[in-house]
Amino acid sequence: MNLSLAWNILTKIIDICFVWLAFYYILKNVKNNIKMVLIVKGVFIVLVVKVLSDLLNLYTVGVILEYAIQWGPLAIIVIFQPEIRSVLESLGRTQLLGRHKVLTVDEREKVVYEIMHAIEYLKKNRIGALIVIEREISLEEYISNSTKVYADVSDALLETIFFPNSPLHDGGVILQGDRITCAGSVFKTSMNPNISKRLGTRHRAALGIAEESDAVALVVSEETGRLSIAVDGELHYNLDLDEFRMMLIDELQPKTEVFFEADENEESEEDENA
């Protein structure tokens, strides 16, 4: 095998990897965006009808669909410009090497401790709250338009922010690492038609940010005191305190740490066997 052949094979492998990466990212965003799902369904229906019109020799329908297919992409760009822009912004905000602070075990335990203390108080007193924890995808778009705080996470501060008479009560809080970055953030609400009509703006905003990014959104219902977590485009509703705590711990745990701990356990088992 000469150098030229090896280079050609390598470039083809890289080419295929980029294509599959693009497909993965597109499908991931389509799954988490209701309007994008509708676009895909609409395009699929048009293509199916076009194939049927060709098989059945439906000339008029075929001509109309040809025009639709020819000008359809331009129409989609114009009509769904906000959704396309949202996907491109999401791609721009994502950084492959990660941007958020990786918390140590002690820092993560402290964050969970402070959040859970605040959540228990808010739940008991039926005070509405929305706490969004940033992960890999930056939430700078929402941070820039909110009230900056830049303080260590504490239950007292969270309780104060969401106190009913507080000016920032109706907005959301954004956490970066073990710091409260801002309060009073306003998020885009989810357009998911499957979400219960009984759920209010907080739950829809939590699901909206979970559909748009990889953030973890914690919700306390003002009317019922029920707890919910929105993550990966799904809303986990009416969790008890233990379920809420365990899910929060799991979502805050870095994925790389899981493999690291597994390797350590394997090494310790080998040492014991030796």
CATH number for 224: 3.40.1700.10
Residue 269 inside a domain? The answer is no
Statement to judge: residues 203 and 157 lie in one domain: yes
For residue 47, the model assigns a pLDDT of 82
Statement to judge: residues 27 and 155 lie in one domain: no
* pLDDT-flagged residues of the chain (< 70): 1, 26, 28-37, 79-102, 255-274
For residue 29, the model assigns a pLDDT of 61
Give alpha helix (H) positions in 135-191.
140-143, 155-161
Mention every residue, 6+ apart, whose C-beta is less than 8 A from residue 223.
126, 128, 200
101-131: pLDDT as tens digits = 567 888 899 999 999 999 999 999 999 999 9
Residue 236 inside a domain? The answer is yes
Statement to judge: residues 67 and 203 lie in one domain: no
> Is the separation of the CB atoms in 119 and 220 below 8 Å?
yes
End-to-end Cα distance, the chain = 45
Residue 196 inside a domain? The answer is yes
Residue 220 inside a domain? The answer is yes
φ/ψ of 166, rounded to 5, equals -75, 140
Distance CA 67, CA 242 (A): 57
Which of 76, 90, 88 has the alpha carbon at shortest distance from 35?
76
Number of CB atoms found within 10 A of residue 132's CB:
26
> Is the separation of the CB atoms in 187 and 205 below 8 Å?
yes
For residue 97, the model assigns a pLDDT of 39
φ/ψ of 172, rounded to 5, equals -110, 160
Which of 186, 191, 215, 182 has the alpha carbon at shortest distance from 94?
215
For residue 261, the model assigns a pLDDT of 47
Domain count, the chain: 2
Statement to judge: residues 168 and 61 lie in one domain: no
For residue 31, the model assigns a pLDDT of 59
Residue 18 inside a domain? The answer is yes
Statement to judge: residues 15 and 81 lie in one domain: yes
Distance CA 183, CA 146 (A): 6
**Range of 202's domain?**
105-257
Statement to judge: residues 147 and 243 lie in one domain: yes
Residue 151 inside a domain? The answer is yes
Token output for 153: 């996470």
Token output for 206: 């939590």
Statement to judge: residues 83 and 135 lie in one domain: no
Residue 223 inside a domain? The answer is yes
Could you tell me the pTM of the whole model? 0.64
36-85: pLDDT as tens digits = 667 777 778 888 888 888 888 888 888 888 877 777 777 777 766 666 66
Statement to judge: residues 56 and 120 lie in one domain: no
Residue 240 inside a domain? The answer is yes
Statement to judge: residues 117 and 240 lie in one domain: yes
Strand positions, DSSP E, the chain? 129-133, 147-152, 172-176, 179-185, 216-220, 227-231, 234-239
Statement to judge: residues 47 and 77 lie in one domain: yes
Distance CA 259, CA 126 (A): 39
Distance CA 181, CA 197 (A): 31
Question: Strands 172-176 and 129-133: what pairing?
Answer: parallel
Mention every residue, 6+ apart, whose C-beta is less than 8 A from residue 268.
none
Statement to judge: residues 143 and 196 lie in one domain: yes
Statement to judge: residues 81 and 167 lie in one domain: no
Residue after which a domain boundary falls, among 93, 116, 136: 93
